[in-house]
Homo-oligomer: A and B are copies of this chain.
Amino acid sequence: MKRRPTIMDVAARAGVSKSTVSLVLQGSPQVKPDTRAAVRLAMADLGYVYNRAAANLRSASVGLVGLVINDLRNPFFTEFATTLQMTLAAQGYATVIANSDEDPVLQAKLVGSMIEHGVSALVISPAYGDGSDTFDLLARSGLPICQVLRKGDARTDLFPFSSFDYGAGSIAATRHLIEQGARNIAFVGGLPGRAITEERKSGWRAVLGAAALPEVALHGKSTRAFGLSAADRLMAEHPQVDGAVCFNDLVALGLVAGFARAGRGVGKGFGVVGFDDIEEASQSWPPLTSVACDIAGFARDTAHRLLRWMVDGQRPEPEGRSPVRLVIRASSLGDGR
């Protein structure tokens, strides 16, 4: 296994000095076209590959951005990750994506490894649990860090946080179900006590409170499987319930599947609203009403906010909320009962 050629090898082959090769690499206009061509030729002959690590040794910044995601399998996060990566790529930054799989220990390891590899900024959607190790590391690194979608650390002055306006979303969702005739609206999914669950629940609770309607909440993991089981529990334990605001689309889709399995449709007589508006929401049957979070737009915003910080040193606001939009589809439409 022969080692890969260096600029010295190229220089020797082209009959110039390493400095000249370096100038060619940087596209400097001050090398004579003939020389440039000779160097290019030598590089091609030898199969030279630029060694970025070596180059960055002097000039610190690597043009690498780290992205740590708590659950990359969730399509919502996948969309965020891919859009962020592509937006940064368009600006010449490479992105390292890693999945912490909701494990704070793994998360701390990943963050450590990214910092060691010299990322020049980091975007993190933190895992649940004790993230203090992670954030200690991050604070110490002094890098631009954006927390997104979940607040893992309260120091938003250090780690600016941005997310969606979930409260407004659940207000809109709940009002919509009431307009459609629902009077017993459950909240389904989300682990109790967690910030996002509380945010998404708060609007629902506020609207129900204002309308003096009863509350039923079924909490659990935010998966399709939980939605499926929640459907059974709702039908068995709370037969009066005639609408549901779900923690996310996965739960909502599970719920819809559960009702279908029981031979009971959704839409007329039972309205379901999801959260996130993942691609599948519009393509399942019945199509799912959902609080749309423009995740691609959010990812682009995040990228630009981060770039402003990295490039111009302009730190983002400590806390930002992007607007959400209720997309009404068949799963929540009553029949004017």
Contact = CB atoms under 8 A, between A and B. Distances in A.
Interface in A44-83: 47, 49-54, 56-57, 60, 62, 64, 72-73, 75, 78-79, 81-82
A279 B99 contact: no
A99 B86 CA distance: 8
Give the interface SS of chain A, mostly helix, strand, loop or mixed: helix
Contacts of A89: 106, 109-110
A194 interface: no
Given A47-B140, A106-B89, A257-B284, A116 B75 contact: no
Copies in the complex: 2
A283 B280 CA distance: 14
Given A52-B116, A118-B51, A228-B283, A82 B86 contact: no
Nearest to A256: B285
Interface residues of A, number: 60
Contacts of A64: 117
Contacts of A240: none
A118 B4 CA distance: 11
12 contacts: A2-B142, A50-B116, A52-B118, A53-B53, A53-B117, A73-B75, A73-B78, A75-B75, A89-B109, A94-B98, A96-B97, A257-B284
